[in-house]
Amino acid sequence: MVALTQYFKNSKLNKKKKMKVAYIFKTEMSSTFQLATMILPQLEKNIHGVEVIGMFFFDENVHVLRKGNDVGERLNTLAAEKGMLIMACDQCALRRDLAEGTFDSCGTGSVKPKNMIDLGQVGCFPQLYKALGGNLPDLVITL
C-alpha cells in the first residue's frame, strides 16, 4: 500500500504515464465478483484509472475464460483492443478441460489452450514472466 500511495503522491509521474497493473485472480469468486462487476465494467468505460497489461487466472477462476462465457468474451474484446495478456494457469486449465497437454509438461510452455476465448493463453510462471517481460507492470494485484 505504501508503494501505491507514493505513486499517487508523485504528480510529476502521474502526468507522464498511467500506472501499469497486472491482476492475478486466485481467491474463490474473484473473477465473478471483482473482475466481472468492478474491474471489467470500469475497463469497458475507460474509467479504471490504470493501464491493465495482463491478467492471470488460477483455480475455478479459469472458467470465465471458457469460450462463450460472457465475462471471457468481453475480456477477449478488451485484450484485442488494448493488447492485454490473458493467461490461465496451465495445470488449472488442464483440470477443467480448457487446455491440451499433460501435467508433467506444465511450466514448459507446451500446454495449449482448448475451449478457451480466442486470445486466452495457458502457462505457468515462466510463461507469464516471458509474456510480460517486455512490458513490466508497476504493480501486481492478487485478488
Per-residue pLDDT tens over the stretch 4-45? 555 555 545 555 689 999 999 999 999 999 999 999 999 999
The CATH code that applies to domain 18-142 is 3.40.1260.10
| 28-57 CB burial, b ≥16 within 10 A, e <16 | eebbbebbbeebbeebeeeebebbbbbbbb
The pTM of this model reads 0.88
Per-residue pLDDT tens over the stretch 92-128? 999 999 999 999 999 999 999 999 999 999 999 999 9
User: 26 and 128 in contact (C-beta within 8 Å)?
Assistant: no
How crowded is the C-beta side of 7, counted as CA atoms within 13 Å?
Answer: 14
CA distance 52 to 40: 10
